[in-house]
Amino acid sequence: MVGTVRTIESDQDVLGEADLSILDVDELQNLGINAADIQKLRAAGIYAISTVLSTTRRNLLKVKGLSEVKVEKIKEAAGKLMNVGFISAADQAHARRRVIAISTGSKQLDLILGGGIKTMSITEVFGEYRCGKTQLAHTFCVTAQLPKEMGGAEGKVAYIDTEGTFRPERLKDIADRFGVDPDQVWDNVSYARALNSEHQMELIEKLGATFADGSYRLLIVDSIMAQFRVDYSGRGELNERQQKLNQMLGRLNRLSEEYNVAVFMTNQVQSDPGASALFAAADGRKPVGGHVLAHASATRILLRKGRGEERVAKLQDSPDMPEREATYIIGEGGIQDVA
């Protein structure tokens, strides 16, 4: 089946009526907030009303030029534009209709995930080298852009590369497999190389501006812990590392929910013979990042080598699906089913 990928320019190109709920901070002007203060919010990486509401007053006070009085007025105005109180389960079910599943490229892997990785959620895959973590990320760069009837999300992709393993030429091979224009696939992927953990956080904080038009459906971080392992070493820096990591994951979670994007993170493993069965792989390895990362990821998938060229994906944690396994291979066209 041949798909169509087009250059995506605005939210109207990719969003249904239910998705047009991203309220720009400019809406605050209609409730008496002056343009200068709104510009200060934008300079701090706050572009949506939902972000205003999810940001604590303490952090808003850190925005240069905002006093306590102004913060209270901004919070009050934002609260009038968007309800963040209790709603019925029926209303929440209606809101969840916005969730889109993005195909992995493998029908078997999609099956255990309930159709693929989901928007408004964080998915983490971990495993040793040559299991297909980065190849899965490359495959998602293409499948996220496909029509929904082909398992896509009809949206753009943001890719944060922390290890220098992104290969745009791989996207062309995968695009050829799905019968889509490789050049348009390239145009719809925004790439950044994170130089250290601080730069990684800065890139994530800037994504509010990128996602504000509603055209993005996927954020990839490959890998989430690589820079942290370099910048923080030893037990003496572990507490600080976990605090910084927790802040980053909190920001990723808000981005996924506020802009209806899927966050896909790859992660490394480390040997730990004494690790609990809950977090350790069968060979005694466990994902880096500890409980902070474990609690932030809604879906966790262990990748391991199988027989020959086969790879095995084990769904370890998911709010939607039971624990199951699927086999796949890494081909020229990305992640695909075993023949």
33-49: pLDDT as tens digits: 999 999 999 999 899 99
Give the rounded distance of the alpha carbon of 68 from its chain centre. Answer: 33
Note the pLDDT of residue 286: 87
Helix or strand or coil: residue 110?
A: helix
Sign of CA dihedral 226, 229, 230, 231: positive
Note the pLDDT of residue 57: 96
How confident is residue 16, by pLDDT bands cut at 50, 70 and 90? very low
Per-domain residue ranges for the chain?
22-81, 96-336
Alpha helices per DSSP H over 206-297: 207-211, 226-231, 238-258, 290-296
CA gap 323, 300 in Å, rounded? 10
CA gap 50, 81 in Å, rounded? 9
pLDDT at 12 over 70: no
76-110: pLDDT as tens digits: 999 999 988 899 999 999 989 999 999 999 999 99
Q: What is the pTM of this model?
A: 0.89
192-245: pLDDT as tens digits: 999 999 999 999 999 999 999 999 999 999 999 999 999 998 889 999 999 999
Buried/exposed code over 288-309 (b: 16+ C-beta within 10 A; e: otherwise): bbeebbbebbbbbbbbbbbeee
Instruction: State the average pLDDT for the chain.
Output: 90
Note the pLDDT of residue 15: 40
Note the pLDDT of residue 339: 82
- Residues in the chain, overall count: 339
Task: Write down the CATH number for the domain with range 96-336.
Answer: 3.40.50.300
CATH 3.40.50.1010 fits domain 22-81: no
Which of 21-35, 67-81, 85-99, 264-278 shows the lowest per-residue confidence on average (mean pLDDT)? 264-278
How confident is residue 164, by pLDDT bands cut at 50, 70 and 90? very high
How confident is residue 270, by pLDDT bands cut at 50, 70 and 90? confident
**141, 144, 221, 333, 338 from 189: Cα distances, Å:** 7, 10, 13, 17, 28
**How large is the angle between the packed helices 133-143 and 168-178, nearest 10 degrees?**
60
